[in-house]
Amino acid sequence: MNLVVQKYGGSSLADAERMRYVAARVADRRARGHALVVVVSAMGDTTDALIALARQVTDHPEDREMDLLLATGEVVSCTLLAMALRAQGVPARSFTGAQAGILTDRVHGRARILRIKPARIWQALEQQEVAIVAGFQGITAGTDITTLGRGGSDTTAVALAAALGAPMCEIYTDVEGVFTCDPRLEPRARRLPEISYEEMLEMASQGARVMHPRAVELGAIYGVPILVASSFTDAPGTIIHGASAMEPTNKVRGISHDMDVAKVTALGLPDRPGVAARLFAALEAAHVAADAIVQNASVHGPETDLTFTVRKDDLQRAVAAVEPALAAVGARGLQTNEALGKVSIVGTGVLNTPGYAARMFRTLSEAGINIELITTSEIRITCMVDRDRVPEAVRALHAAFELERPEALGT
Ligand code: ASP
Ligand code: MG
Q: What would the DSSP string read from start to end of 355-386?
A: THHHHHHHHHHHTTPPP-EEEEETTEEEEEEE
| 162 vs 129: CA distance, rounded Å | 20
Please tell me the predicted confidence (pLDDT) of residue 408: 45
What is the residue range of 21's domain?
A: 3-174
Quick one: CA dihedral 265, 268, 274, 279, positive or negative? Answer: negative
Contacts of 273 (CB under 8 A, 6+ apart): none
372 CA distance to ligand 1 middle (Å): 33
User: Which amino acids bring their CB within 6 angstroms of ligand 1?
Assistant: 10, 41-42, 47, 73, 135-136, 150-153
| Domain end residue (candidates: 143, 174, 205) | 174
Ligand nearest to the CA of 212: 1
| pLDDT score at 306 | 95
The best mutation among 72, 74, 110, 156 to test binding of ligand 1, ranked by most ligand atoms within 8 Å of the C-beta, falls on 74
Q: Which of 174, 207, 238 is the last residue of a domain?
A: 174
**CA–CA separation, 119 and 97 (whole Å):** 12
User: Does one domain contain both 261 and 114?
Assistant: no
Spatial separation of the C-alpha atoms in residues 190 and 203, rounded to whole Å:
15
Give the Cα separation of 121 and 102 in Å (integer). 11
Residue 266 sits in the same domain as residue 119: no
Q: Of 324, 343, 175, 352, which is closest to residue 247 (Cα–Cα)?
A: 352
**Domain-located, residue 270:** yes
Interval between CA 44 and ligand 2 midpoint (Å): 7
Domain count, the chain: 2
What pLDDT shows up at residue 409?
42
The answer as to whether 98 is a domain residue is: yes
- Cα separation, 326 vs 330, in Å, equals 6
Closest CA relative to residue 246, chosen from 93, 369, 348: 348
CATH at 330: 3.30.2130.10
Atom of ligand 1 nearest to the CA of 149: 9
- Same-domain check for residues 282 and 384: yes
Residues 155 and 272 in one domain: no
The answer as to whether 179 is a domain residue is no
Q: How far apart are CA 204 and CA 195, in angstroms?
A: 12
Give the predicted TM-score (pTM) of the model. Answer: 0.88
Q: Whose CA is nearest to atom 9 of ligand 1?
A: 150
Q: How many CB atoms lie within 10 A of CB 69?
A: 19
Q: Is residue 232 part of a domain?
A: no
Is residue 294 situated within a structural domain?
A: yes
Of the three residues 114, 143, 174, the one that is the final residue of a domain is: 174
CATH of the domain at 62: 3.40.1160.10
Q: Are residues 142 and 271 in the same domain?
A: no
For residue 51, the number of C-alpha atoms closer than 13 Å in the C-beta half-sphere is: 8
Q: Nearest CA to 39 among 149, 156, 163?
A: 156
Q: Is residue 39 part of a domain?
A: yes
Structural domain includes residue 83: yes
Ligand 1: atom nearest CA of 9 is: 7
Are residues 161 and 281 both part of a single domain?
no
pLDDT computed for residue 209 by the predictor: 79
What is the CB neighbour count within 10 angstroms for residue 115? 12
pLDDT at 155: 97
Distance from the alpha carbon of residue 151 to the mean position of ligand 1, in angstroms: 4
| Residues with a beta carbon under 5 angstroms from ion ligand 2 | 10, 41
Nearest partner of 289 among 190, 213, 178, judged by Cα: 213
What is the full per-residue pLDDT of the chain (411 aa) written as tens digits?
799 999 999 999 999 999 999 999 999 999 999 999 999 999 999 999 999 999 999 999 999 999 999 999 999 999 999 999 999 999 999 999 999 999 999 999 999 999 999 999 999 999 999 999 999 999 999 999 999 999 999 999 999 999 999 999 999 999 999 999 999 999 999 999 999 999 999 998 877 778 889 999 999 999 999 999 999 998 899 999 997 555 556 589 999 999 999 999 999 999 889 999 999 999 999 989 998 999 888 777 788 999 999 999 999 999 999 999 999 999 999 999 999 999 999 998 888 888 999 999 999 999 999 999 999 988 999 999 999 999 999 999 999 999 998 764 433
With H, G, I as helix, E, B as strand and everything else as coil, classify residue 102. strand
Do 145 and 274 fall into the same domain?
no
The answer to whether position 200 is within a domain reads no
Q: Looking at the structure, do residues 274 and 405 belong to the same domain, yes or no?
A: yes
The string over 91-113, giving b where at least 16 C-beta atoms fall within 10 Å of a residue's C-beta and e elsewhere, is: ebbbbbbbbbbbbbeebbbbbeb
